[in-house]
Structure 1
């Protein structure tokens, strides 16, 4: 089993002492990347919940150790040279943030403080988040002294000198002066600085008593000389000089313990990044604009590193003054060469789901797969397509669909609503929509892209504006063996496109180019067409026309047959079993998975399920579906979704796997082998199944290996919705309601049944309800229900 697609920017990364490696929190593990290549070289595995912080132990020798904290309630000590875990401390409470003051400051100060290592942690005791002290050397249990309670897990910020600890809490900054000699009973002094807006981030000056904070409006506040009265007064008294606050402390509110407060404003949205340079002469800031701003602390002058292309999250300095890194919200970590601030290389994770997909009603954020090379194509925030290697777990390259700069603070005006790849991965189709402004100016654009055999990158071949008049495109499908494609629209028609070679005369040379043109147009009773697919040999084109399936000859554009009807509109189609069966997915009030026999042109079997994704193998009759579980079944299946593997000839699932975050997920069968020995022996690649969840995390596994990948085999009776069973013929069916064990494992298959008479008469006579109760339910079930629409 291969897992990938983790979030690289959930917590700040850390450099190793020799600056040759970068440690990144990636879910339950810590991934170690090389700074010279940007590739992963090792990982630290052992935590059972997301890792929240990484702290590298400072050292002068070649050995490197680090501490990590996690939501699993443990703090672990690691040897990076092996790598393996050396020590584990169980706090018994989730840890959201951790700092170790003794790791900071000069070596003389560090050795003089204490022989024990103390950490400050933010833990949850079951009621609230608390900041406590923990002795990592002589650990027995986390300290009982609570520095502060907060509603949310606030990150702990330590000063570069290790003398001050701070957190943000709504409109306040809480700062503690840590004891010079740490012990279990040592108490820190505290002050509070106030602001009028919610604070988003803070940073301490490396040498001075200066703290900077950013707020939700984009302002940066700098308090100088904080703690003059509380921290520097040996008696600890908090006596204040009775003077005019405006003259004595310019910019300071509520008579806070600071000498002055100044405000800088450049960012147009919330500040998410603040960091002082090691010498304290500059302040780095960043936000949603994707621009790193370099402020000169004395004069307030600014320099910029623009067009990073994504909101900024963290800026980390390394022990090497010529190297730093910046983490971005698009799951990328860029390594910078200082002081020129050039991006040398990047650690590319999979791009997160689009934040503006709700803007367009007909948006399809489903990923497209190149099953032969193991690549997945996903839409990005900057109007592009990212190609991500599923087996290597890293980004390969990006294609810019719309040539425009991405401005996260602007209103969304363009959407890349759909991406689709051909079977061999050589052709790509994309659909972009320019949203209308006040109902005017909306444009739909269909683009075909060709893969360059030398560069292995896509370049645009044909641009088609308004291919279906002024309506949106619902689906694009490619012919399995020829350069042919079909696009469907909500306006009630589909178009078949073919690619033809053409000669172009340029500068006295005869060049050959390819272009796509319309081959045929079809429709069926002006019904909206939401899905289309070709058969395995390409001889049949299936197009969903609202609730029916139409079968066409793509070459002659002749309607050959109309198959069945479903309760709600069909949104997805796929052939299975060498095109012997056709799968249809319907959404709406009565979602349904239907399997149609092409030899009989009739429904073979169906399930009342909400199916999010479906995929089928090319050379066998197996197919897999991703279904959403009803809320009542989440606990029984240990997740909120389930993957079911079927043989199209048999309505009983072959295997199942419970999954998390299925909404917006996708499935695909890939060619590959999970065993290293198979690669050495040169065996034929197996058929693997990849599942990508709504957060674009994925897992690759062998769906047929039930023992090796913990797939639970289903061989019990399931509640089928078969054709022909209705009325009195279904009265004596099984009653899952009275079988508690079956209900726990199989209620997902029967939960959507809306015919109560199927089960109310089943069971022992002494367990049946009285006839007075059964009669009213039975008679009501015979009546046709209609939804009343208010006029």
Structure 2
């Protein structure tokens, strides 16, 4: 089993002491990457929930120790070079943030833990009950004795939710932002019996984060309006006793003060304003001469502290989250909201290397949500193509868990947070992955304008660097495109339209194979088809490409793609068909709406074999077989204990049998996807985790957060709980947004007669002559066949009479 798709930016990373490695929190694992190559070297696996902090112990460059904290309530001590766990401290409360003052860590020269090591933790008190006003102070700031493995002292602060702790590079001060206040503590000496002293700074807007100067008594904070406030000489008068403040009441009970100057304990307060929205990133340079800031606009601003002058790192294209320094002053890292970590050469701020994770989900405007297809898979190479917010397509390797390439589909300036004006609605890949087709929609402004653009792309090599081949503006007049599908063996694409037609496109290479072909470059329209002017909502080619199925709302039409001839018409569904797919000699149709349905049609009998009343999110079919898998959404009213915390099912079928071969309950199914990956892929064969018995195919499941897992659905062990190792079945807390280990649950029993509303199988009649004249005229058989069926019906009746 292979898993991946974790977030690289859920917590700040940390550089090793020699700056040759960077430690990244990736779900419940800490992954170690090389700063020279950007590739993963090893991982630290022991936590059972999201890792929220990783802190490298300073000291000798030959040593490699770090502390980690997690929502599983534990703090762990590691030798990260050897991936060896050395100590575990159980706090028994989820840890959201952790800082360790450097002056309390010392500089270890051996594997012996330094004496009197302390950490300050931001934890959640899950036992706290809500008060009469419906509020509970669940967040706490606690002190932990790392040497003695216990919590020390009283609660330093209580907040509504756990807050992020910031600490000065010298370790003398640490603090949190709490609405319109900054609470700053002075770190005591190594004697833990001394009280922790605190001051409070105030503002008229809510703070977003704070940062401490490396050497001076100076603190900077950003607010929700984009302002940066700098207090110089804070706490020069006195620090108050933090314990007395806590005993007097919680921090939320402190009265708001009218301003930011006056009665705050600081010599002066300076305000800078450049960012149009809230500050996400704030950090001083290692020498203290500059202050770096960033926000949703994706620009890193470099402020000169003495003069206030600024310079900029050109727009990165994604909101900035963290800036991390290394002991090498020429190397820093910046974490972005699109799940990328960029390594920067300082002070020029040049990007030298990027560590790219899978892109996070792109939220389309509600009006176009039903038009957008989430994923497209290259089954042979084990790649998934994802639409991104900056008008690109990301190709991500599911086997290697890394980005392969990105394709800029639409050339335009994009600033994160801008109003969306262009949407990439569809992306489709050819069977061999060498061609791609995309659809983009320019949204109308004030009801005026709007443009649909169909593009064809070709790949030069296996690195998935696509070049634009052909652009077609308004391919279906002013109507939107509902589906794209490639021919399995030829350079042919079908596009269906809500405007009531479909078009077949062929490339110049396909045209030149004909003797009477004219010289042409790119792609051109080969044929146009329609059915009673109904909107065409889905399309698919059969496995051999001889049949084209196009859904005309609630009716399925079958065409000869070469002759553009209507062959047959199937069914009459209650709701429009949104997806068509071929599984061997069977056709699958998915309808959505108030009466969703999965139907399986026999192509030999041109009739419905069986169906389910299920809300299907995605479907995938295995090549050269009748197997297929669906991702079904569970009803919100489901009270089955086995489905608690899960919203979807993966069911594997053989199209000839209505009983599923296997079933798994999953989380975050809404917005997820499925795909069968071929077992003859080189990347697939290189995997060594199959113990010498490589499966013929893998089933890939990607959930709504773009976490994914690959497994063998045909393995007998895959139908039992033993497929998933015990630690991977632990249900991660809902606050943990990442970690593929939580998506699988137990295998429920599938009972055919348990819920007749859920399962409604349908079998074709064994006496076809009784129904040959029912339905649409397009369903009628040829005249010789009709005569034969009619004569058989007479003989049947006569035989019955004799008996």
TM-score (norm 1): 0.84
Contact map agreement 1:362 1:472 (CA 8 A) in 2: no
Aligned residue number for residue 170 of structure 2: 161
Query: Using a 3 Å threshold, how does the CA distance of structure 1 residues 233 and 615 change in structure 2: closer, same or farther?
Result: closer
2:704 corresponds in structure 1 to 694
CA shift at 1:165, angstroms? Answer: 1.1
Judge conservation of contact 2:281–2:293 (CA < 8 Å) in 1. yes
Cα distance in structure 1, aligned partners of 2:556 and 2:588? 10
Is the alpha carbon distance of 1:142 and 1:683 closer, same or farther for their aligned partners in structure 2, counting shifts above 3 Å?
closer
User: How far apart, CA to CA, are the structure 2 residues paired with 1:708 and 1:662?
Assistant: 19
Alignment correspondent of 2:352: 344
Give 1:62 deviation, angstroms: 1.1
Residue 408 (structure 1) shift: 1.5
CA contact (8 A) 1:497 1:516 kept: yes
Equivalent residues in 2 for 1:230-245, closer than 5 Å: 230-231=238-239
Separation in structure 2 between the aligned mates of residue 3 and residue 525 of structure 1, nearest angstrom? 47
1:291-690 equivalences under 5 Å are 291-358=299-366, 360-453=368-461, 456-501=464-509, 514-577=521-584, 580-631=585-636, 632-633=638-639, 635-638=641-644, 639-672=646-679, 686-690=696-700
Q: CA deviation at 1:77?
A: 1.0
Cα distance in 1 for residues equivalent to 2:317 and 2:123: 35
Deviations 1:385-442 (A, max 9, x none): 0111111111111110111121113211111111110111111010000000011110
Q: Which structure's relative contact order is higher, taking Cα pairs within 8 Å and 6+ residues apart?
A: 2
1:30 and 2:30 are equivalent in the alignment: yes
Aligned partners of 1:633 and 1:486: how far apart in 2?
43
CA distance in 1 between counterparts of 2:429 and 2:548 reads 17
CA shift in 2, pair 1:76/1:681, >3 Å? closer
SS in 1 for 2:188: coil
My pick for the range that moved more, 641-650 or 142-151, is: 142-151
Provide closer, same or farther for how the CA distance between residues 269 and 359 of structure 1 changes in structure 2, counting only shifts above 3 A: farther
Shift of 1:452: 1.0
Q: Quote the offset at 1:747 in angstroms.
A: 8.1
Indicate the SS of the match to 2:152.
coil
- TM-score, with normalisation over the residues of structure 2? 0.83
Q: How does 1:46-125 map to 2 (within 5 A)?
A: 46-102=46-102, 115-125=115-125
- Take 2:167 and 2:410, find their aligned partners in 1: how far apart are those partners? 43
Q: Distance in 2 between matches of 1:472 and 1:685?
A: 40
Q: Which residue of 1 aligns with 2:742?
A: none
Q: In 2, are the aligned partners of 1:630 and 1:748 still within 8 Å (CA)?
A: no
Question: In structure 1, what is the equivalent of residue 274 of structure 2?
Answer: 266
Cα separation, 1, equivalents of 2:752 and 2:158: 42
| Inter-partner Cα distance in structure 2 for 1:449 and 1:749 | 49
1:743 to partner: Cα distance: 13
Alpha carbons of structure 1 residues 678 and 26: separation in structure 2 relative to 1, 3 Å: closer
Give 2:263's match in structure 1, choosing from 255, 263, 275: 255
Pair 1:622–1:102, CA change in 2 (3 A)? same
Aligned to 1:148: 157
Return the alpha-carbon distance in structure 2 between the equivalents of residues 95 and 752 of structure 1. 46
Contact 1:102 1:118 in 2 (8 A): no
Deviations 1:658-687 (A, max 9, x none): 211111111111123868687999988721
* TM-aligned CA distance change 1:459 to 1:339, over 3 Å: same
The question of whether the paired residues in 2 share the 8 Å contact of 1:105 and 1:162 is answered with no
Q: Is the 8 A contact 1:706 1:712 kept in 2?
A: no
Can you give the 5+ residue segments of structure 1 that lack an aligned partner in the other structure? Answer: 238-248, 505-511, 714-741, 757-791
Deviations 1:491-543 (A, max 9, x none): 11111111124999xxxxxxx97411111111111222111000011000001
Aligned to 1:134: 144
Aligned counterparts of 1:690 and 1:502: Cα–Cα separation in 2: 33
